[in-house]
Amino acid sequence: MVWGMTMDANSLTLVTGGGGFLGGRIVEAVLGRGGRVRIFGRSRYSRWEGRPGVECQVGDLCDLAAVRIACRGCGLVVHTAAKAGVWGSRREFFETNLDGTRHVVEGCVQEDVPRLVFTSSPSVVFGNRPIEGGDESLPYPKRYLAAYPESKAAAERLVLAADGRLLGHGRSHLRTCALRPHLIWGVGDPHLLPRIAAAAKAGRLRQVGNGRNLVDLTHVEHAAQAHLLAALALAREDSPVAGHAYFLGDREPVSLWPWLRGLLGRLGLRIPARAVPYRVAHLTGGALELLYRCVPGLGEPRMTRFVAAQLAMSHWFSHAAAERDFGYRPVRDPAADLEAAADWLRASLERPEAGA
């Protein structure tokens, strides 16, 4: 992978969600290669205030006027902002993930932004069946188990369909692509690793299924660099990237439950040996979803059908297309990264609660 690539110092990159885990790494990657960044989000993100080469714009993806202003003067938009999660209001998922993305596309068109890289998810092709070595020919399923993948699939389709749209000045076209990093992790992860550790610490984490399922993980640095590589590829004449989606991941899939046991063992935590059959978890998840919809205010169910499928089934993908079309090659040492993540997570768990 060409890690030494440079960005055009005269061009401005808009990163939506630049205060997030992946978005922040993309901002750092652009700055590290001589570029300038505008961050669009719902707050100013103090970590970026006063940073040379960075400007922050506060706004909401649901506000087309604000999005259009954020796009103004940019040569590239990297759209990472999204509502993620396995539970929540279907309306809110679609407002942020689909309507918000529609506003980003319109902002690019109206403000003459020539390139748009969209952060999608492999869950857009995940229905209720295992996926082993799947590639970009996989179809979108007819039904989804959660609003998040359904809304992201709708947004991805919109972005890819926008490739080739005539820009506002009428002299060139928008070029788009979508990247599908699977289970982004690493030091600083505010979502995946802390959630797993918290469940294990509380005694709520149970193996679902037979424990032989393989899954892809994507280190956050791999995901960030892939976004830059795809953006550079979009700038080429007759780019093979334009109008396409790509799976991303680390070098090899991991055996999920042994990997989790290895991580938690470093933290002095464990997963009970007794497993929950997938069918039981699936039925339990469906019942809890019904209950939580009927009784507002209960929070998030401990199990859903989507979570049961993700924990029990294999879901890993070929990254050959990303390697072929824009030079994606995962180069990091997974063992060293696991140790670093465990050390960081251990320190996070030992840190006193705010106000304690």
Of how many residues is the chain composed?
Answer: 356
Q: Quote the pLDDT of residue 38.
A: 96
The model's pLDDT over 324-349, given as tens digits with 9 standing for 90+, comes to: 999 999 999 999 999 999 999 988 87
As a whole number, mean pLDDT of residues 244-252 equals 97
Instruction: Yes or no: say if 211 and 278 are a contact pair by the CB < 8 Å rule.
Output: no
292 is catalytic: no
Q: Quote the pLDDT of residue 165.
A: 93
User: To which CATH superfamily is domain 12-190+217-251+317-332 assigned?
Assistant: NAD(P)-binding Rossmann-like Domain (3.40.50.720)
Instruction: Yes or no: say if 127 and 313 are a contact pair by the CB < 8 Å rule.
Output: no
As a whole number, mean pLDDT of residues 24-42 equals 94
pTM exceeds 0.85 for this model: yes
As a whole number, mean pLDDT of residues 49-73 equals 94
Q: Quote the pLDDT of residue 51.
A: 87
As a whole number, mean pLDDT of residues 145-153 equals 97
Mean pLDDT of the chain: 92
List the domain boundaries for the chain: 12-190+217-251+317-332
Dist CA 34 CA 310 (whole Å): 39
pLDDT at 50 over 70: yes
Q: Quote the pLDDT of residue 355.
A: 37
Instruction: Yes or no: say if 127 and 142 are a contact pair by the CB < 8 Å rule.
Output: yes
What band does 3 get if pLDDT is binned at 50, 70 and 90? very low
The catalytic position among 148, 246, 278, 328 is: 148
Question: For residue 353, which amino acid is it?
Answer: E
Q: Quote the pLDDT of residue 5.
A: 60
What band does 352 get if pLDDT is binned at 50, 70 and 90? low
Instruction: Give the CA diameter of the chain.
Output: 63
What band does 2 get if pLDDT is binned at 50, 70 and 90? very low
pLDDT at 356 over 50: no
Question: For residue 281, which amino acid is it?
Answer: A
As a whole number, mean pLDDT of residues 183-203 equals 91
Q: Quote the pLDDT of residue 10.
A: 66
Of the two residues 203 and 98, the one the predictor is more confident about is 98
pLDDT at 7 over 70: no
What band does 45 get if pLDDT is binned at 50, 70 and 90? confident
Q: Quote the pLDDT of residue 151.
A: 98
The model's pLDDT over 77-131, given as tens digits with 9 standing for 90+, comes to: 999 999 999 999 999 999 999 999 999 999 999 999 999 999 999 999 998 899 9
252-283 burial code (b ≥16 CB/10 A, e <16): ebbebbebbbebbeebebebeeebbebeebbe
Dist CA 305 CA 303 (whole Å): 7
pLDDT at 36 over 60: yes
- How is residue 227 written in tokens? 């976004």
